[in-house]
Amino acid sequence: MFPLPRLPVCPCKYLSAEDTKTNLPSQLVTVALLVASNDFMTFAWYGHLSEKSAPLWIVIGVSWGIAFFEYVLQVPANRIGRGSFSATELKTIQEIITLSVFAVFSVWYLKEPVHWNHLIGFGFIAAGGFFVFHKWV
């Protein structure tokens, strides 16, 4: 077998709010990166729905290419955020951001209205965030 090259240690594990040039709080950096990553994710997952003439294999390839940039933002977001949030809190933040980004995308790009029942459903999911972040003890 071929010997595998030794890869450098990922610099992401060293990123923190203190190490960034902007000195922004890690919570803000985390949320900003998750919002940006969700923009890519939403477009990768749903952007092709407005263009149905492209062959499926091309749509899959393009979606994977777009999703790469989602991961480029999402992985550092979770690394940075893990210092301030638990894994459960990070996932909750991710889901609330996902719904928010999707609602805007649905109206703006897909030209689908968001109805009152959608907003109530999204609101219940977002309200779940209260139970995740509330300190009960």
pLDDT digits (tens, 9 = 90+) for 23-72: 678 899 999 999 999 999 999 999 999 888 889 999 999 999 999 999 99
pTM value is 0.76
Q: What is the mean pLDDT of residues 1-24?
A: 50
Spatial separation of the C-alpha atoms in residues 136 and 118, rounded to whole Å: 29
Residue 109 in this model has a pLDDT that exceeds 50: yes
Residues 6+ away with beta carbon under 8 Å from 111: 50
The CA–CA distances, whole Å, from 66 to 29, 42, 46, 63, 97 equal: 21, 10, 11, 5, 18
**Predicted pLDDT at 15:** 52
Average pLDDT, the chain: 85
